[in-house]
Amino acid sequence: MSQPTATPTDVAASAAKDRHTLSETACDLIVIEHRLRDVRRWTPESARAHLDAALSSVATALDALHAEYATRTTEQEQG
């Protein structure tokens, strides 16, 4: 079985879809971050370390998504 060769249009459409998915995921993470910050306001001090760790993880994930988005955008512009 041979796989069909992707056309430049197919590649561009796939890249645009990937960037859109990354963007949606980033938006979801931003919503999670805001909700964690809201919850943190009324969380007892003893439990805040867990929320701080979760916020740190969300920030790391957002940084990774931003880097991936930038890479894919650059690749698309060069392609």
Pairwise CA distance, residues 16 & 73, whole Å: 9
| Amino acid found at 79 | G
Provide the pLDDT for residue 53: 95
How far apart are alpha carbons 75 and 79 in whole angstroms? Answer: 6
How many angstroms separate the CA atoms of 63 and 26, rounded? 9
Q: pLDDT tens digit string along 26-76?
A: 899 999 999 999 999 999 998 899 999 999 999 999 999 989 888 877 777
Domain made up of 13-78: CATH architecture: Up-down Bundle (1.20)
pTM, two decimals, is: 0.69
pLDDT value at residue 22: 83
